[in-house]
Structure 1
Amino acid sequence: MKISEQTVLITGASRGLGADIARSFAGEGANVIVNYYQSEDLAHKLVEELGERAIAIQADVRDQEQVKAMVTRAKEHFGQAITTVVNNALVNFKFDPVAQKSADDLEWSDFQVQLDGSVKGALNTIQACLKDMKEAKFGRIMNIGTNLVQNPVVAYHEYTTGKAALLGLTRNMAKELGAYGITVNMISGGLLRETDASSVTTAEVFGIIEATTPLQKVTNPAELADVTLFFASPWSRAVTGQNLVVDGGLVMD
Protein backbone atom coordinates (compact mmCIF):
# COMPACT_ATOMS: atom_id res chain seq x y z
CA MET A 1 0.00 0.00 0.00
CA LYS A 2 1.35 3.41 -0.95
CA ILE A 3 1.89 5.87 1.89
CA SER A 4 -0.61 8.23 0.26
CA GLU A 5 -3.29 5.54 0.74
CA GLN A 6 -2.57 5.00 4.42
CA THR A 7 -4.23 6.36 7.55
CA VAL A 8 -1.56 6.90 10.16
CA LEU A 9 -1.96 7.20 13.94
CA ILE A 10 0.96 8.92 15.65
CA THR A 11 0.84 8.99 19.43
CA GLY A 12 2.28 11.96 21.26
CA ALA A 13 2.27 13.89 18.00
CA SER A 14 1.57 17.44 19.13
CA ARG A 15 5.21 18.40 19.52
CA GLY A 16 8.82 17.29 19.21
CA LEU A 17 9.57 14.10 17.32
CA GLY A 18 5.89 13.19 17.00
CA ALA A 19 5.11 16.45 15.22
CA ASP A 20 7.93 15.86 12.75
CA ILE A 21 6.68 12.33 12.09
CA ALA A 22 3.23 13.80 11.38
CA ARG A 23 4.80 16.29 8.97
CA SER A 24 6.67 13.51 7.17
CA PHE A 25 3.53 11.46 6.58
CA ALA A 26 1.43 14.48 5.66
CA GLY A 27 4.08 15.43 3.12
CA GLU A 28 3.51 12.07 1.42
CA GLY A 29 -0.26 12.56 1.30
CA ALA A 30 -1.33 10.20 4.08
CA ASN A 31 -4.26 10.73 6.42
CA VAL A 32 -2.70 11.72 9.76
CA ILE A 33 -4.11 11.39 13.27
CA VAL A 34 -2.31 13.73 15.65
CA ASN A 35 -2.81 12.13 19.04
CA TYR A 36 -2.17 14.29 22.08
CA TYR A 37 -2.64 13.96 25.82
CA GLN A 38 -2.41 17.48 27.26
CA SER A 39 -1.03 19.77 24.52
CA GLU A 40 -4.35 20.59 22.85
CA ASP A 41 -3.35 23.99 21.45
CA LEU A 42 -0.16 22.63 19.90
CA ALA A 43 -2.03 19.68 18.38
CA HIS A 44 -4.63 21.87 16.69
CA LYS A 45 -1.98 24.30 15.50
CA LEU A 46 -0.14 21.40 13.88
CA VAL A 47 -3.32 20.17 12.19
CA GLU A 48 -3.85 23.64 10.73
CA GLU A 49 -0.34 23.42 9.32
CA LEU A 50 -0.85 19.92 7.89
CA GLY A 51 -4.20 20.59 6.24
CA GLU A 52 -7.49 18.81 5.70
CA ARG A 53 -6.04 15.30 5.76
CA ALA A 54 -5.09 15.64 9.43
CA ILE A 55 -7.13 15.50 12.62
CA ALA A 56 -6.18 16.04 16.29
CA ILE A 57 -7.65 13.58 18.80
CA GLN A 58 -7.04 13.57 22.55
CA ALA A 59 -6.39 10.26 24.31
CA ASP A 60 -4.20 8.94 27.09
CA VAL A 61 -2.55 5.93 25.43
CA ARG A 62 -2.36 4.19 28.80
CA ASP A 63 -6.18 4.09 28.91
CA GLN A 64 -7.55 1.30 26.73
CA GLU A 65 -11.04 2.77 26.43
CA GLN A 66 -9.73 6.20 25.42
CA VAL A 67 -7.58 4.57 22.73
CA LYS A 68 -10.53 2.59 21.39
CA ALA A 69 -12.64 5.76 21.25
CA MET A 70 -9.84 7.58 19.40
CA VAL A 71 -9.58 4.84 16.80
CA THR A 72 -13.36 4.80 16.29
CA ARG A 73 -13.47 8.57 15.84
CA ALA A 74 -10.59 8.48 13.36
CA LYS A 75 -12.31 5.79 11.29
CA GLU A 76 -15.50 7.82 11.20
CA HIS A 77 -13.66 10.99 10.22
CA PHE A 78 -11.60 9.50 7.39
CA GLY A 79 -14.05 6.82 6.31
CA GLN A 80 -11.41 4.13 6.48
CA ALA A 81 -9.52 2.10 9.04
CA ILE A 82 -6.13 2.93 10.49
CA THR A 83 -3.41 1.12 8.54
CA THR A 84 -0.32 2.45 10.26
CA VAL A 85 0.60 3.12 13.89
CA VAL A 86 3.63 4.97 15.23
CA ASN A 87 3.96 4.54 18.98
CA ASN A 88 5.89 7.65 19.93
CA ALA A 89 4.26 8.94 23.13
CA LEU A 90 6.61 9.72 26.02
CA VAL A 91 5.06 9.88 29.47
CA ASN A 92 6.49 12.08 32.23
CA PHE A 93 10.17 11.99 31.42
CA LYS A 94 12.92 14.52 30.78
CA PHE A 95 16.45 13.73 29.67
CA ASP A 96 17.97 15.60 32.58
CA PRO A 97 21.31 14.08 33.64
CA VAL A 98 21.44 16.27 36.72
CA ALA A 99 17.99 15.39 38.09
CA GLN A 100 18.12 11.70 37.09
CA LYS A 101 17.75 9.45 40.13
CA SER A 102 20.70 7.23 41.03
CA ALA A 103 20.46 3.50 41.64
CA ASP A 104 20.16 4.18 45.37
CA ASP A 105 17.15 6.44 44.96
CA LEU A 106 15.10 4.65 42.31
CA GLU A 107 11.68 3.27 43.20
CA TRP A 108 9.66 0.67 41.35
CA SER A 109 6.99 3.30 40.67
CA ASP A 110 9.54 5.15 38.50
CA PHE A 111 9.87 2.09 36.30
CA GLN A 112 6.13 1.48 36.28
CA VAL A 113 5.45 4.93 34.81
CA GLN A 114 7.75 4.21 31.86
CA LEU A 115 6.56 0.64 31.37
CA ASP A 116 2.97 1.89 31.25
CA GLY A 117 3.84 4.64 28.79
CA SER A 118 5.99 2.51 26.50
CA VAL A 119 4.61 -1.03 26.64
CA LYS A 120 1.01 -0.61 27.82
CA GLY A 121 0.51 2.37 25.51
CA ALA A 122 1.80 0.44 22.50
CA LEU A 123 -0.25 -2.63 23.38
CA ASN A 124 -3.40 -0.53 23.59
CA THR A 125 -2.94 1.08 20.17
CA ILE A 126 -1.98 -2.18 18.50
CA GLN A 127 -4.96 -4.04 19.91
CA ALA A 128 -7.35 -1.22 19.00
CA CYS A 129 -6.27 -1.38 15.34
CA LEU A 130 -5.56 -5.08 15.01
CA LYS A 131 -8.95 -6.35 13.84
CA ASP A 132 -9.02 -3.94 10.91
CA MET A 133 -5.40 -4.67 9.99
CA LYS A 134 -6.04 -8.41 9.99
CA GLU A 135 -9.10 -8.00 7.79
CA ALA A 136 -7.12 -5.83 5.36
CA LYS A 137 -4.15 -8.22 5.41
CA PHE A 138 -2.02 -5.12 5.83
CA GLY A 139 -0.59 -3.18 8.74
CA ARG A 140 2.49 -1.15 9.56
CA ILE A 141 3.43 -0.70 13.23
CA MET A 142 6.47 1.28 14.33
CA ASN A 143 7.61 1.66 17.92
CA ILE A 144 9.99 4.46 18.82
CA GLY A 145 12.90 3.19 20.89
CA THR A 146 16.29 4.49 21.95
CA ASN A 147 19.95 3.71 21.36
CA LEU A 148 20.41 4.11 25.12
CA VAL A 149 19.48 0.42 25.35
CA GLN A 150 22.76 -0.40 23.60
CA ASN A 151 24.79 2.57 24.80
CA PRO A 152 23.58 4.26 28.00
CA VAL A 153 25.51 7.52 27.69
CA VAL A 154 23.53 8.55 30.76
CA ALA A 155 21.96 5.94 33.05
CA TYR A 156 18.31 6.88 32.47
CA HIS A 157 17.31 3.68 34.26
CA GLU A 158 13.53 3.70 34.07
CA TYR A 159 13.24 5.18 30.57
CA THR A 160 15.78 2.79 29.03
CA THR A 161 14.24 -0.22 30.75
CA GLY A 162 10.80 0.70 29.37
CA LYS A 163 12.20 0.95 25.85
CA ALA A 164 14.06 -2.34 26.21
CA ALA A 165 10.76 -3.96 27.14
CA LEU A 166 9.16 -2.29 24.12
CA LEU A 167 11.75 -3.96 21.90
CA GLY A 168 10.62 -7.30 23.32
CA LEU A 169 7.01 -6.44 22.51
CA THR A 170 8.06 -5.38 19.01
CA ARG A 171 9.68 -8.69 18.18
CA ASN A 172 6.96 -10.86 19.68
CA MET A 173 4.27 -8.93 17.81
CA ALA A 174 6.29 -9.23 14.60
CA LYS A 175 6.45 -13.00 15.06
CA GLU A 176 2.72 -13.42 15.57
CA LEU A 177 1.32 -10.81 13.19
CA GLY A 178 3.49 -11.48 10.15
CA ALA A 179 1.03 -14.10 8.94
CA TYR A 180 -1.56 -11.32 8.51
CA GLY A 181 0.65 -9.04 6.41
CA ILE A 182 1.42 -6.83 9.41
CA THR A 183 4.99 -5.70 10.04
CA VAL A 184 6.22 -4.47 13.41
CA ASN A 185 9.53 -2.65 13.73
CA MET A 186 11.37 -0.31 16.07
CA ILE A 187 13.21 2.90 15.23
CA SER A 188 15.73 3.93 17.86
CA GLY A 189 17.22 7.38 17.93
CA GLY A 190 19.73 8.78 20.32
CA LEU A 191 19.20 11.93 22.31
CA LEU A 192 17.68 14.27 19.73
CA ARG A 193 18.49 17.93 19.33
CA GLU A 194 16.14 19.29 20.29
CA THR A 195 12.80 18.18 21.69
CA ASP A 196 10.95 19.23 24.84
CA ALA A 197 12.25 16.14 26.57
CA SER A 198 15.88 16.86 25.64
CA SER A 199 15.71 20.61 26.29
CA VAL A 200 17.29 20.06 29.71
CA THR A 201 20.10 17.87 28.37
CA THR A 202 23.41 19.49 29.18
CA ALA A 203 25.87 20.76 26.58
CA GLU A 204 28.41 18.33 28.04
CA VAL A 205 26.25 15.31 27.16
CA PHE A 206 25.58 16.57 23.64
CA GLY A 207 29.32 17.22 23.29
CA ILE A 208 30.13 13.61 24.21
CA ILE A 209 27.66 12.39 21.58
CA GLU A 210 29.10 14.64 18.87
CA ALA A 211 32.67 13.63 19.67
CA THR A 212 31.95 9.89 19.50
CA THR A 213 29.52 9.83 16.55
CA PRO A 214 30.90 9.14 13.04
CA LEU A 215 28.75 11.89 11.49
CA GLN A 216 29.97 14.23 14.26
CA LYS A 217 26.53 15.66 14.92
CA VAL A 218 23.49 15.04 17.08
CA THR A 219 20.54 13.62 15.16
CA ASN A 220 17.53 15.92 14.92
CA PRO A 221 13.84 14.93 15.04
CA ALA A 222 13.22 15.48 11.31
CA GLU A 223 16.03 13.07 10.40
CA LEU A 224 14.56 10.31 12.52
CA ALA A 225 11.00 11.08 11.43
CA ASP A 226 11.79 10.44 7.77
CA VAL A 227 12.88 6.89 8.61
CA THR A 228 9.31 6.05 9.62
CA LEU A 229 8.38 6.54 5.97
CA PHE A 230 10.67 3.66 5.01
CA PHE A 231 8.92 1.23 7.33
CA ALA A 232 5.53 2.40 6.06
CA SER A 233 6.51 2.15 2.38
CA PRO A 234 6.46 -0.84 0.03
CA TRP A 235 10.27 -0.76 0.13
CA SER A 236 10.21 -2.37 3.59
CA ARG A 237 7.59 -5.02 2.83
CA ALA A 238 10.00 -7.86 3.74
CA VAL A 239 11.29 -6.23 6.93
CA THR A 240 9.81 -6.99 10.35
CA GLY A 241 11.01 -7.48 13.91
CA GLN A 242 13.95 -5.13 13.34
CA ASN A 243 15.40 -2.33 15.45
CA LEU A 244 16.89 0.31 13.17
CA VAL A 245 19.19 2.67 15.07
CA VAL A 246 19.15 6.22 13.70
CA ASP A 247 21.87 8.14 15.51
CA GLY A 248 24.59 9.07 13.04
CA GLY A 249 26.48 5.84 13.67
CA LEU A 250 27.07 6.21 17.41
CA VAL A 251 25.69 2.70 17.92
CA MET A 252 26.49 0.18 15.19
CA ASP A 253 24.12 -2.70 15.84
Structure 2
Amino acid sequence: MSSLDSQVVVISGASRGLGAAIARAAANEGASVVVNYFQSEAKADAVAKEIGEAALPVQADVRDADAVRDMVDAAENHFGAPVTRAVHNALIDFQFDAENRSTLEEIDWDEYQVQTEGAVQGALNLMQACLPSMRDAGAGRFVAIGSNLVQNPVVPYHDYTTSKSALLGFVRNAAQELGPEGITANMVSGGLLQTTDASAATSDEVFGIIEQTTPLRRVTTPEEVADAVLFFLSPWARAVTGQNLIVDGGLVMK
Protein backbone atom coordinates (compact mmCIF):
# COMPACT_ATOMS: atom_id res chain seq x y z
CA MET A 1 0.00 0.00 0.00
CA SER A 2 1.31 3.45 -0.92
CA SER A 3 1.41 6.34 1.53
CA LEU A 4 -1.53 8.19 -0.02
CA ASP A 5 -3.81 5.33 -1.07
CA SER A 6 -7.51 6.31 -1.05
CA GLN A 7 -6.75 9.98 -0.34
CA VAL A 8 -8.07 12.84 -2.44
CA VAL A 9 -5.61 15.72 -2.76
CA VAL A 10 -6.45 19.16 -4.12
CA ILE A 11 -3.43 21.04 -5.47
CA SER A 12 -3.96 24.68 -6.38
CA GLY A 13 -2.02 25.96 -9.38
CA ALA A 14 -1.23 22.44 -10.58
CA SER A 15 -1.21 22.94 -14.32
CA ARG A 16 2.53 23.56 -14.52
CA GLY A 17 5.80 23.83 -12.63
CA LEU A 18 5.87 22.81 -8.99
CA GLY A 19 2.11 22.24 -8.79
CA ALA A 20 2.23 19.76 -11.67
CA ALA A 21 5.18 17.99 -10.06
CA ILE A 22 3.23 17.66 -6.80
CA ALA A 23 0.20 16.28 -8.66
CA ARG A 24 2.32 13.64 -10.40
CA ALA A 25 4.13 12.69 -7.20
CA ALA A 26 0.92 12.39 -5.18
CA ALA A 27 -0.70 10.24 -7.87
CA ASN A 28 2.36 8.00 -7.91
CA GLU A 29 1.77 7.41 -4.19
CA GLY A 30 -1.81 6.29 -4.76
CA ALA A 31 -3.73 9.54 -4.36
CA SER A 32 -6.51 10.88 -6.50
CA VAL A 33 -5.56 14.44 -7.42
CA VAL A 34 -7.36 17.60 -8.44
CA VAL A 35 -5.27 19.51 -10.97
CA ASN A 36 -6.50 23.02 -10.25
CA TYR A 37 -5.86 25.79 -12.75
CA PHE A 38 -6.90 29.39 -13.26
CA GLN A 39 -6.24 30.13 -16.94
CA SER A 40 -4.02 27.32 -18.23
CA GLU A 41 -6.72 24.84 -19.25
CA ALA A 42 -4.68 23.09 -21.93
CA LYS A 43 -1.73 22.56 -19.59
CA ALA A 44 -3.98 21.26 -16.81
CA ASP A 45 -5.64 18.85 -19.22
CA ALA A 46 -2.21 17.64 -20.34
CA VAL A 47 -1.10 16.99 -16.74
CA ALA A 48 -4.35 15.16 -15.98
CA LYS A 49 -4.06 13.08 -19.15
CA GLU A 50 -0.51 12.12 -18.22
CA ILE A 51 -1.62 10.97 -14.76
CA GLY A 52 -4.72 9.18 -15.99
CA GLU A 53 -7.95 8.30 -14.20
CA ALA A 54 -6.58 9.41 -10.83
CA ALA A 55 -6.57 13.06 -11.95
CA LEU A 56 -9.36 15.60 -12.40
CA PRO A 57 -8.63 19.05 -13.89
CA VAL A 58 -10.80 21.77 -12.33
CA GLN A 59 -10.82 25.49 -13.07
CA ALA A 60 -11.07 27.81 -10.07
CA ASP A 61 -9.61 31.15 -9.06
CA VAL A 62 -8.30 30.52 -5.53
CA ARG A 63 -9.29 34.09 -4.60
CA ASP A 64 -12.96 33.19 -5.21
CA ALA A 65 -14.34 31.32 -2.17
CA ASP A 66 -17.41 30.05 -4.02
CA ALA A 67 -15.32 28.70 -6.88
CA VAL A 68 -12.99 26.91 -4.48
CA ARG A 69 -15.93 25.30 -2.63
CA ASP A 70 -17.39 24.20 -5.96
CA MET A 71 -14.02 22.68 -6.87
CA VAL A 72 -13.90 20.65 -3.65
CA ASP A 73 -17.50 19.52 -4.17
CA ALA A 74 -16.68 18.47 -7.74
CA ALA A 75 -13.68 16.48 -6.51
CA GLU A 76 -15.69 14.63 -3.88
CA ASN A 77 -18.49 13.87 -6.32
CA HIS A 78 -16.08 12.66 -8.98
CA PHE A 79 -13.90 10.48 -6.78
CA GLY A 80 -16.59 9.45 -4.31
CA ALA A 81 -14.38 10.27 -1.33
CA PRO A 82 -13.75 13.28 0.93
CA VAL A 83 -10.97 15.77 0.31
CA THR A 84 -8.66 15.35 3.31
CA ARG A 85 -5.46 16.68 1.75
CA ALA A 86 -4.84 20.13 0.26
CA VAL A 87 -1.77 21.89 -1.13
CA HIS A 88 -1.85 25.64 -1.70
CA ASN A 89 0.67 26.28 -4.45
CA ALA A 90 -1.07 28.83 -6.72
CA LEU A 91 0.98 31.90 -7.63
CA ILE A 92 -0.79 34.90 -9.14
CA ASP A 93 0.92 36.85 -11.94
CA PHE A 94 4.52 36.82 -10.73
CA GLN A 95 7.91 36.44 -12.37
CA PHE A 96 11.28 36.05 -10.65
CA ASP A 97 13.02 38.73 -12.68
CA ALA A 98 15.65 40.42 -10.51
CA GLU A 99 16.55 43.05 -13.07
CA ASN A 100 12.97 44.24 -13.64
CA ARG A 101 11.49 43.86 -10.15
CA SER A 102 9.66 46.71 -8.45
CA THR A 103 11.99 48.46 -6.03
CA LEU A 104 10.85 49.73 -2.65
CA GLU A 105 10.86 53.26 -4.00
CA GLU A 106 8.46 52.55 -6.83
CA ILE A 107 6.30 49.59 -5.74
CA ASP A 108 2.65 50.36 -5.01
CA TRP A 109 0.18 48.69 -2.68
CA ASP A 110 -1.72 47.06 -5.55
CA GLU A 111 1.25 44.77 -6.16
CA TYR A 112 1.28 43.72 -2.51
CA GLN A 113 -2.47 43.20 -2.70
CA VAL A 114 -2.28 40.86 -5.68
CA GLN A 115 0.30 38.61 -4.01
CA THR A 116 -1.36 38.69 -0.59
CA GLU A 117 -4.74 37.75 -2.05
CA GLY A 118 -3.19 34.89 -4.00
CA ALA A 119 -1.20 33.58 -1.05
CA VAL A 120 -3.29 34.24 2.06
CA GLN A 121 -6.82 34.64 0.73
CA GLY A 122 -6.25 31.61 -1.49
CA ALA A 123 -5.04 29.57 1.49
CA LEU A 124 -8.02 30.66 3.58
CA ASN A 125 -10.49 29.76 0.84
CA LEU A 126 -8.91 26.35 0.28
CA MET A 127 -8.72 25.53 3.97
CA GLN A 128 -12.32 26.59 4.63
CA ALA A 129 -13.57 24.56 1.65
CA CYS A 130 -11.77 21.40 2.83
CA LEU A 131 -12.34 21.78 6.56
CA PRO A 132 -15.78 20.11 6.80
CA SER A 133 -14.52 16.91 5.16
CA MET A 134 -11.32 16.92 7.20
CA ARG A 135 -13.35 17.26 10.39
CA ASP A 136 -15.71 14.48 9.37
CA ALA A 137 -12.73 12.24 8.70
CA GLY A 138 -11.08 13.19 11.98
CA ALA A 139 -7.83 14.02 10.18
CA GLY A 140 -6.46 16.28 7.48
CA ARG A 141 -3.29 17.65 5.95
CA PHE A 142 -2.80 21.20 4.67
CA VAL A 143 0.48 22.18 3.01
CA ALA A 144 1.31 25.70 1.84
CA ILE A 145 4.15 26.51 -0.53
CA GLY A 146 6.44 29.20 0.82
CA SER A 147 9.84 30.59 -0.16
CA ASN A 148 13.34 30.64 1.28
CA LEU A 149 13.34 34.37 0.49
CA VAL A 150 11.43 34.86 3.75
CA GLN A 151 14.54 33.76 5.63
CA ASN A 152 17.06 35.20 3.19
CA PRO A 153 15.68 37.91 0.86
CA VAL A 154 18.78 37.93 -1.30
CA VAL A 155 16.64 39.51 -4.02
CA PRO A 156 14.06 41.84 -2.44
CA TYR A 157 10.86 40.82 -4.20
CA HIS A 158 8.86 42.97 -1.78
CA ASP A 159 5.31 41.93 -2.66
CA TYR A 160 6.03 38.22 -3.12
CA THR A 161 8.17 37.73 -0.03
CA THR A 162 5.84 39.73 2.20
CA SER A 163 2.88 37.60 1.08
CA LYS A 164 4.80 34.39 1.82
CA SER A 165 5.68 35.72 5.27
CA ALA A 166 1.99 36.31 5.92
CA LEU A 167 1.19 32.83 4.60
CA LEU A 168 3.54 31.30 7.17
CA GLY A 169 1.62 33.16 9.88
CA PHE A 170 -1.63 31.73 8.50
CA VAL A 171 -0.19 28.20 8.55
CA ARG A 172 0.99 28.41 12.14
CA ASN A 173 -2.29 29.83 13.41
CA ALA A 174 -4.17 27.07 11.56
CA ALA A 175 -1.86 24.45 13.06
CA GLN A 176 -2.54 25.72 16.56
CA GLU A 177 -6.32 25.89 16.15
CA LEU A 178 -6.86 22.66 14.24
CA GLY A 179 -4.32 20.41 15.92
CA PRO A 180 -6.79 19.07 18.51
CA GLU A 181 -8.92 17.80 15.60
CA GLY A 182 -6.10 15.82 14.02
CA ILE A 183 -5.57 18.35 11.22
CA THR A 184 -2.02 19.47 10.50
CA ALA A 185 -0.81 22.56 8.65
CA ASN A 186 2.74 22.96 7.40
CA MET A 187 4.77 24.87 4.84
CA VAL A 188 7.38 23.74 2.34
CA SER A 189 9.64 26.54 1.15
CA GLY A 190 11.69 26.05 -1.96
CA GLY A 191 14.35 28.26 -3.37
CA LEU A 192 14.50 29.36 -6.97
CA LEU A 193 13.53 26.26 -8.94
CA GLN A 194 14.99 25.18 -12.25
CA THR A 195 12.91 25.73 -14.18
CA THR A 196 9.28 26.85 -13.90
CA ASP A 197 7.26 29.50 -15.71
CA ALA A 198 7.82 31.84 -12.76
CA SER A 199 11.60 31.35 -12.83
CA ALA A 200 11.95 31.41 -16.62
CA ALA A 201 12.84 35.12 -16.51
CA THR A 202 15.78 34.43 -14.21
CA SER A 203 19.15 34.84 -15.90
CA ASP A 204 21.67 32.05 -16.31
CA GLU A 205 24.04 34.17 -14.21
CA VAL A 206 21.69 34.10 -11.22
CA PHE A 207 21.15 30.35 -11.56
CA GLY A 208 24.94 29.97 -11.70
CA ILE A 209 25.42 31.96 -8.49
CA ILE A 210 22.86 29.81 -6.69
CA GLU A 211 24.54 26.66 -7.95
CA GLN A 212 27.95 27.77 -6.70
CA THR A 213 26.79 28.99 -3.28
CA THR A 214 24.47 26.08 -2.42
CA PRO A 215 26.06 23.22 -0.44
CA LEU A 216 24.75 20.61 -2.88
CA ARG A 217 26.18 22.68 -5.76
CA ARG A 218 23.05 22.48 -7.85
CA VAL A 219 19.72 24.25 -8.24
CA THR A 220 16.71 22.52 -6.70
CA THR A 221 14.09 21.04 -9.03
CA PRO A 222 10.29 21.06 -8.69
CA GLU A 223 10.36 17.28 -8.26
CA GLU A 224 12.64 17.56 -5.23
CA VAL A 225 10.32 20.04 -3.53
CA ALA A 226 7.34 17.83 -4.40
CA ASP A 227 8.98 14.97 -2.48
CA ALA A 228 9.00 17.10 0.68
CA VAL A 229 5.34 18.02 0.17
CA LEU A 230 4.52 14.30 0.01
CA PHE A 231 6.07 13.82 3.44
CA PHE A 232 3.70 16.36 4.99
CA LEU A 233 0.73 14.80 3.18
CA SER A 234 1.62 11.30 4.33
CA PRO A 235 1.03 9.38 7.57
CA TRP A 236 4.75 9.76 8.32
CA ALA A 237 4.16 13.42 9.26
CA ARG A 238 1.29 12.75 11.66
CA ALA A 239 3.12 14.39 14.58
CA VAL A 240 4.45 17.38 12.61
CA THR A 241 2.50 20.63 12.39
CA GLY A 242 3.19 24.35 12.23
CA GLN A 243 6.56 23.77 10.60
CA ASN A 244 8.33 25.39 7.67
CA LEU A 245 10.68 23.02 5.86
CA ILE A 246 13.15 24.76 3.57
CA VAL A 247 14.07 22.67 0.54
CA ASP A 248 16.81 24.50 -1.36
CA GLY A 249 19.89 22.30 -1.25
CA GLY A 250 21.06 23.84 2.01
CA LEU A 251 21.36 27.43 0.80
CA VAL A 252 19.36 28.60 3.81
CA MET A 253 19.95 26.66 7.01
CA LYS A 254 17.48 27.19 9.86
Class of the TM-score when normalised by the shorter of the 2 chains: over 0.9
Distance 2:70 2:237 in 1: 30
Aligned match of 1:153: 154
User: Can you list the C-alpha shifts for 1:18-71, whole angstroms capped at 9, x where unaligned?
Assistant: 000000001111000000000001111111110101100000000001101111
SS in 1 for 2:186: strand
Distance 1:67 1:106 in 2: 30
- Structure 2 unmatched ranges of 5 or more: none
User: 1:230 and 2:228 equivalent?
Assistant: no
Q: In structure 1, what residue type is equivalent to 2:230?
A: L
Q: Segments of 4+ in structure 1 off by > 4 A?
A: none
Q: In structure 2, what residue type is equivalent to 1:21?
A: I
Q: What's the CA shift for 1:156?
A: 0.6
SS in 2 for 1:249: coil
User: 1:220 and 2:214 equivalent?
Assistant: no
User: Can you list the C-alpha shifts for 1:122-147, whole angstroms capped at 9, x where unaligned?
Assistant: 00000001011011111000000000
Distance 1:229 1:68 in 2: 23
Counterpart mapping for 1:39-78 below 5 A: 39-78=40-79
Distance 1:80 1:28 in 2: 17
User: Can you list the C-alpha shifts for 1:133-189, whole angstroms capped at 9, x where unaligned?
Assistant: 011111000000000001112111100000000000000000000011000000000
Distance 2:217 2:81 in 1: 43
Distance 2:207 2:199 in 1: 10
SS in 2 for 1:86: strand
Distance 2:195 2:165 in 1: 23
Aligned residues: 253
Any conservation in 1 of the 2:3–2:30 contact (CA below 8 Å)? no
Aligned match of 2:23: 22
After TM superposition, the score normalised by the length of structure 1 is: 0.98
SS in 1 for 2:141: strand
Aligned match of 2:36: 35
Most deviating of 1-10 and 60-69: 1-10
Distance 2:54 2:24 in 1: 11
Distance 2:208 2:143 in 1: 29
Distance 1:233 1:150 in 2: 26
Distance 1:154 1:185 in 2: 24
SS in 2 for 1:83: strand
Q: In structure 2, what residue type is equivalent to 1:153?
A: V
Give aligned-pair identity as a percent. Answer: 58
Aligned match of 1:184: 185
User: 1:109 and 2:110 equivalent?
Assistant: yes
- Structure 1 unmatched ranges of 5 or more: none
Distance 1:34 1:242 in 2: 25
Q: What's the CA shift for 1:232?
A: 1.2
Distance 1:81 1:2 in 2: 17
Aligned match of 1:10: 11
Q: In structure 2, what residue type is equivalent to 1:111?
A: Y
Q: What's the CA shift for 1:207?
A: 1.8
Aligned match of 1:245: 246
Aligned match of 1:200: 201
Q: In structure 1, what residue type is equivalent to 2:45?
A: H
Aligned match of 1:133: 134
Q: CA RMSD in A?
A: 0.9
Distance 2:149 2:6 in 1: 34
Distance 1:150 1:211 in 2: 19
After TM superposition, the score normalised by the length of structure 2 is: 0.98
